[in-house]
Structure 1
Amino acid sequence: MLDFFSQYWWTIAIVINYILVIIAVTTILFKSINPTKTLTYIIVLLVFPFFGLIVYYFFGQEYRKNKIFNRKDVLNNKLIKSINKDLKIDPETLSSYEANIEEDQIRLIHLLQRNDKSPLTKYNNVEIIINGENKFQSLFKDIESAQQHIHIEYYILKDDRIGTQFLELLCKKAKEGVKVRLSFDDVGSKISSKMKRKLIEANIEFYAFMPVLFPRFTGKMNYRNHRKIVIIDGEIGYVGGINVSDTYVNYPESKSYWRDTHLKIIGEAVFTLQTQFLTNWNFVSETTLELNRSFFPQNKVKDVQPVQIAASGPDTDWANIMEAIFFAIVTAEHYVYITTPYFIPNDQIITAMQVASKSGVDVRLLIPDQSDSWTAKHATNSYLEQLLKANIKVYRYEKGFIHAKTMVVDDVFTTIGTCNMDYRSFNINFEINALIYSKDKAKEAKAIFMQDLEDAIVVDYQAWEERSNFERIQEAYCRLWAPLL
């Protein structure tokens, strides 16, 4: 028997591999997921023995269907329900807002309210922050003034130069009696044991989101918490694209330029950010935090600036952010300006952009000229011809790496947050965006976009058509992996 196995071990291994492949393919087909993603997994499983099974094991498991993320306790809490009820505005009164919300924007509001219990908040002050150095200056000042609690949730948190400043400031506030709760993604973050001891000594509660055994080798593991949230005393909130790392700060001695966008919100929308943080906190801490009104203090803002917080992830029933982006594009009448570091969209977004452009809407896309990922760069390039054919203007940012995730539509609607225009953000990772229904903020976001275009070059369709066959091969290869990136 041993001789038989030693002589035919490879054949036996291949047979076992394809038995498992047949089981996996059958499982995939019964899930009724996106056909492109289905085909990608099937090709990988059939063409790459053993490796395909590993890829499917790490990236293909649909935890949403398996109910692993059972995180609805916070949303069902009586206090949260009461607050959301207080915030919810009668749909019949939306059209009479001082902010003059357009009819299509009202439909978008209703879409999100039905999908994810995301109430429209009326009284807010919103500040668009450009780049990490400005964000941290503002954030540190607000943390210094914290009196009761600081809640933090980041995808990337490192104890480098800016990270050490950030964490030491939190320790200082914790020693002053402010309650600090910190959650960070285990794959994206890197905190030394020495710093963790400091956090423990300062009585800071912290948890890694879904810990993995080898973080360095699992940079694309599924179901990561890609959100960047800070809530201070339930009154001030930060959300956007900027993580806690020196990469995001343009120091005078920095060799490269990092262009990013973040939001500071004061007002009722912070309550929704708080709810999302508390939902995640119960999950990572495996405890049920007792909620009280101090997490949701009386709002002092009187200015009308309607904001809705859209969250999506494996714990939501719908792809809320993707649906909001899709709807905003297809209902645009004048222009759609999109900035994203990674453009690996699904068919719905591509079609929406093409239809909008062909119907006369000015559709523009700003992406990095040089990506931080070879695969993502060529996967993005594989979609550009479809856009250019539809007369969509594509720009490449040359000043540095642009990491902002923004979209502004028709001088009335803006979204800024953590969601990239890619499969991973739409369907796999935990993301959060602020949807702002304000003409003033839309005009400000539009001006920022136009300013960024001054540091970008437009992609010429004729020149793009003449790119080398080698480039096309790389694009085709990376396009195959697009649903898994």
Structure 2
Amino acid sequence: MTDLLLNINIKSVLEVFSANNFILVFQLLYILTALGVVIVVISENRNPLKTIAWVLVLLLLPLVGLIFYYFFGEDHRKQRLISRKMHKRLNRKTLERTELKESLNPPVEYKGLINLLNKVNNCPLYGGNKITFYSDGESKFEALFEEIKKATKHIHLQYYIFMDDKIGHKVKDLLIEKAREGVEVRVLYDAMGAWKSKKKFYKEMEAGGVQVTPFLKVAFPILTSRVNYRNHRKVVVIDGEVGFMGGMNIADRYIEGNGSGIWRDSHFKLEGRAVHGLQTSFVIDWYASRNEFLTSNKYYPQLESKGNNLMQIATSGPTGEFKEIHQGIFQAITNAKEYIYIQTPYLIPTDALMLALQTAALSGVDVRIMIPQNSDTTFVQIASMSFIKDFLESKVKIHLFTAGFLHSKLMVIDDNLTITGSANMDVRSFEHNFEIDAFIYNRETALAAKNIFLDDMQCSDLIALETWNKRPRHKRFAESFLRLFTPLL
């Protein structure tokens, strides 16, 4: 009996010792792995604030932090993207097909900005363009359908989100109809942005003769819906003569709104020589996704002047040597003399842009930023609110749009410059996403954009610093806490 009890006790001790050893080994392995990842993050020479944010995540969230970093922080996906060398070569080849023989007289006050964008992004200045703005989904889609129906040669359509809802099926059916008529139809969608759409939806398009390709396909989109790197561009080119770009995706919400009201967005139709700039962007993205370079000159027809807008089509993304759109916006802000009006759904500015806006406001420029009161992304919304006090103390005026969700990406400066496209005023758009913005140098277009902003001011509340400082302490703490992670949002 004594021997039996002794054996049981020894067995129990060994089990406990074995379990303790397993826990110890696991803890040791985790610590070594976490330290290894921390070393990798530090050695990548990222933005110091981003590095600190990732180190905090890895150290404060055991195991979860490692998983989070794998899906959202690692740069291994960058290896799948088109190289900088190839991007430059393709950009140069597409520009060779663009007619740029006309002599233009760019505005003197924006000569520096024009030179900057041309140097860092190889985006020429196009003349002879007509701009038609759309501030609601119904008018935008009506115009898009009208132009698609008139297509005789090709339709190139690229969206970050392409939902298989009512409006999505209308677009799909129309594209299939044009493909059966003999029109070349190509559709490029972001694999993560459109992950909710069923595969059957795209297969139906392919069966109907539409060439469909996802950008940067992922195996588990539900786990990687916010992973680097996303193609956030919204571009349509029809017959190389008419284009559309802006902030609207393909989804019912742009017509029907959401639970908090209307879905306010900005988009525009482009007619004129700058359509070649949109075509270049699409051709390069198509090559990166399908390894097929559209070499024919038929995609770059000679275009007559359609209007008096001078403009540049700027693209940016993680493959670029510079942060092209970010640098262009910074230059535009520092060059402002009278006013800067900005609409953005997400306000997580870089340190450079924040300083530029504060400096402009303190020097007497009327700086106004409009953001939604209710956002579609809770964490980003809370983090965005942490910047408001800093802006208000620097004389920057903040307007909260209350009629629904403001998704517009629009900037107008001094009645002469309009910047609009897909880029939000946040770190993700400037550093991780593939974006496209138009820099338009024209007084008439700037006044039209300014009127859009002024109209939206009627549905917005101007924030007073005194009122903002009286918010509950727990809200201010939550905003400050999430601000620590803004480099990762």
Same fold (TM over 0.5): yes
Aligned counterpart, 1:271: 276
The letter of the residue matching 1:83 is: R
**Please, which moves more after superposition, 260-269 or 186-195?**
186-195
Query: How far apart, in 2, do the equivalents of 1:292 and 1:74 lie?
Result: 18
Partner SS state of residue 119, structure 1: coil
- 1:197-208 to structure 2, matched below 5 A, reads 197-208=203-214
Query: Do 1:73 and 1:279's aligned partners in 2 also have CA atoms closer than 8 Å?
Result: no
Normalising by structure 1, we get a TM-score of: 0.93
Answer yes or no: is the 8 Å Cα contact 1:122–1:305 preserved in 2.
yes
| Residue number among 17, 23, 38 corresponding to 1:25 in the alignment | 38
Alignment of 1:51 with 2:56, yes or no, is no
How far residue 61 of structure 1 moved from its aligned partner, in angstroms, is: 2.0
Match of 2:400 in 1: 396
- Answer yes or no: is 1:413 the counterpart of 2:417: yes
Match for residue 304 of structure 1?
308
- Selected match of 2:230 from 216, 224, 230: 224
5+ residue gaps in structure 2?
1-13
In structure 1, C-alpha distance between the alignment counterparts of 2:69 and 2:15, rounded to whole Å: 31
Who is 1:385 aligned against? 389
The answer for unaligned runs of 5 or more in structure 1 is none
Please list, as runs of the form range in 1=range in 2, the aligned pairs for 1:352-371 lying within 5 A after superposition. Answer: 352-371=356-375
* 2:412 corresponds to 1:375: no
Partner of 2:240: 234
- Which residue pairs with 1:344 in the alignment? 348
Distance 1:69 1:58, change over 3 A: farther
Give the secondary-structure state (helix, strand or coil) at the position aligned to 2:89: coil
Say whether the 8 Å CA contact 2:260–2:404 is kept in structure 1: no
CA distance in 2 between partners of 1:307 and 1:277 (Å)? 18
Using the TM superposition, give the Cα deviation of residue 255 of structure 1 relative to its aligned residue in structure 2, in angstroms. 7.3
- CA change 1:426–1:404 in 2 (3 A) is same
TM-fit CA distance, 1:183:
0.9
Shift of 1:52: 1.5
Equivalent of 2:299 in 290, 295, 299 = 295
Q: CA deviation at 1:297?
A: 0.4
Confirm whether residue 472 of structure 1 aligns to residue 465 of structure 2: no
- Structure 1 Cα separation of the partners of residues 95 and 181 of structure 2: 32
Q: Contact 1:131–1:261 at 8 Å: present in 2 too?
A: yes
CA 179–12 in structure 1, closer or farther in 2 if over 3 Å, else same: same
**19-28 or 460-469, larger mean C-alpha shift:** 19-28
Please give the alpha-carbon distance, in whole angstroms, between the structure 2 residues aligned to 1:2 and 1:65. Answer: 46
Q: Which residue of 1 aligns with 2:168?
A: 163
Is residue 128 of structure 2 the alignment partner of residue 123 of structure 1? yes
Aligned partner of residue 128 in structure 2, secondary structure: strand
1:257 equivalenced with 2:262 (yes/no): yes
Contact 2:260 2:374 in 1 (8 A): no
The within-5 A match list for 1:24-103 is 24-63=37-76, 66=79, 68-70=81-83, 73=86, 75-77=88-90, 79-83=93-97, 86-87=99-100, 96-97=105-106, 101-103=107-109
Q: Secondary structure at 2:368's aligned position in 1?
A: strand
Give distance in 2, aligned partners of 1:3 and 1:438.
Answer: 77
Partner of residue 11, structure 2: none
Quick check: 1:323 aligned with 2:323?
no
1:45-103 deviation line (CA, Å, top 9, x unaligned): 1221111212222222235875743265464257424235x4287xxx76x44xxx132
Q: SS state of the match for residue 123, structure 1?
A: strand
SS at match of 2:471: coil
Q: What is the Cα deviation at residue 441 of structure 1?
A: 0.5
Against the structure 1 CA distance between its residues 172 and 281, is the aligned structure 2 distance closer, same or farther, given a 3 Å change threshold?
Answer: same
* Greater Cα shift, 73-82 or 165-174: 73-82
Q: Cα 1:27–1:197, aligned 2, differ >3 Å: closer, same or farther? A: closer
Q: Are the counterparts in 2 of residues 237 and 265 from structure 1 also a CA contact under 8 Å? A: yes
Query: Contact (CA 8 Å) 1:64, 1:314: kept in 2 or not?
Result: no
1:247 equivalent in structure 2: 253
Change (3 A) 1:16 1:180: same
Contact residue 71 and residue 280 of structure 1 kept, 8 A = no
**TM-score normalised to structure 2 length:** 0.92
| Aligned partner letter, 1:279 | I
Whether the 8 Å contact between 1:88 and 1:120 is mirrored in structure 2 is no
Tell me, in whole angstroms, the C-alpha distance in 2 between the residues paired with 1:182 and 1:320: 26
2:338 maps to 1:334 = yes
Percentage of identical aligned residues: 38
Determine if contact 1:341/1:371 at 8 Å carries over to the other structure. yes
**1:423-455 Cα deviation digits (max 9, x unpaired):** 110100111111101111011111110110000
Kindly indicate whether the alpha-carbon contact (under 8 Å) linking 1:366 and 1:394 is maintained by their aligned counterparts in 2.
Answer: yes
2:454 match: 450
**Matched-pair contact (CA < 8 Å) for 2:231–2:434:** yes
Aligned counterpart, 2:116: 111
* CA deviation string 1:137-166 (max 9, x = no partner): 000000000001001111100110100000
**Secondary structure of the equivalent of 2:321?**
coil
What amino acid sits opposite 1:210 in the alignment? Answer: L
Report the secondary structure of 1:76's partner residue: helix
Judge conservation of contact 2:77–2:229 (CA < 8 Å) in 1. Answer: no
Q: Which amino acid aligns with 2:313?
A: I
SS of the residue corresponding to residue 386 of structure 2 reads: helix
